[in-house]
Structure 1
Amino acid sequence: MQVVCPHCQGLNRSPAERLQDNPRCGKCKQGLLPSHPIELNQAAFGRFVQKSDLPVIVDFWADWCGPCKMMAPAFAQVASQLQGKAIFAKVDTEANPALSQQYAIRSIPSLLVFKQGREVTRQAGAMPAGQLLQWAQQVIG
């Protein structure tokens, strides 16, 4: 499977069965699949969703949004639980308005799921950890 390094954005290949072993980037030697959500910006977003063979679950959020702040710990918890099965990322809509516009984000938090570069589903609104885990497991397969 092809995985984009969240640190240096280098492309890496890893056998699917080894993704649970916390593989390291061949370029920068850091972990490829962190147990926490990664921050994506306009420059890195396209590379991650286009080049990653793992599903990418993106939380579009803003610092001023109360429901976003309430859901952040649940999103981080689910990212840890599903480490190696999906990449969890966050996009600050205030810092990246072009991405918000490109994906027609009308309310936040909004979760978008990408598989092989294409958006496959989205969910608007905050969810508690249990519901978020169940939803994520369904959408990543």
Structure 2
Amino acid sequence: MTQENLVVCTKCGVVNRLPFSRNGADAKCGKCGALLFSGLPQDVDAANFDRQIGRGSLPVVVDVWAPWCGPCKMMAPAYEAAAKALEPHMRLIKLNSDKEQAIAARLGIRGIPTLILFHHQHEVARISGAMGTSQIVNWVRNHIPAGN
């Protein structure tokens, strides 16, 4: 059993090894120096999305959204608060469905906002519609217990 998590930097896409014994809250990327967990979900492009899902070992929560979507805008502060509650045990990212239409199509997105939870490179759960912070946190924790 591995004694570390593989954490993909949301800024540069490099995979970082993070020992279980290390507090991930202050961990920085070995390449670009960015914090690996900022407490704010980062918007990612298609390449970074694929690296987050395919190379990282942490569960990944993806908020598929668009800038014109009212419910997406309403849910954004709740998703940010959920990131503060769930990181560094999970990775929370945002995917703009307008900019990344191919990924949105590959994911079969029919409505936004949609949250998708991935673990071990597989989709574990999906839910559509705006939610509050506690709803997001509880939904994630119901599908991925603490400690993964």
Same fold (TM over 0.5): yes
Give structure 2 stretches of 5+ with no counterpart.
none
Deviation string 1:84-109 (CA, Å, 9 cap, x unpaired) is 01110001111111011001000110
Tell whether 2:144 aligns with 1:137: no
Alpha-carbon distance between aligned partners in 2 of 1:18 and 1:137, rounded to the nearest angstrom:
22
CA RMSD of aligned residues (A): 1.2
Percent identical residues: 38
How far off its partner does 1:19 sit?
4.0
Tell whether 2:117 aligns with 1:113: yes
SS at match of 1:14: strand
Aligned counterpart for 1:23 among listed residues 27, 30, 35: 27
Alpha-carbon distance between aligned partners in 1 of 2:143 and 2:21, rounded to the nearest angstrom:
20
TM-score for both structures, normalised by structure 2: 0.90
Which residue of structure 2 lines up, in the alignment, with residue 63 of structure 1?
67
Alpha-carbon distance between aligned partners in 2 of 1:19 and 1:52, rounded to the nearest angstrom:
17
How far off its partner does 1:21 sit?
4.0
Aligned counterpart for 1:122 among listed residues 119, 126, 134: 126
Q: Is the 8 A contact 1:86 1:140 kept in 2?
A: no
Deviation string 1:46-105 (CA, Å, 9 cap, x unpaired) is 111111111000000111111111101000000011110111000111111101100100
How far off its partner does 1:43 sit?
2.0
Query: Segments of 4+ in structure 1 off by > 4 A?
Result: none
Give structure 1 stretches of 5+ with no counterpart.
none
SS at match of 2:29: coil
Q: Which amino acid aligns with 1:16?
A: F
Alpha-carbon distance between aligned partners in 1 of 2:22 and 2:144, rounded to the nearest angstrom:
18
Q: Which piece of structure 1 moves more, 72-81 or 32-41? A: 32-41
Q: Which amino acid aligns with 1:65?
A: C
Q: How many residues align?
A: 141
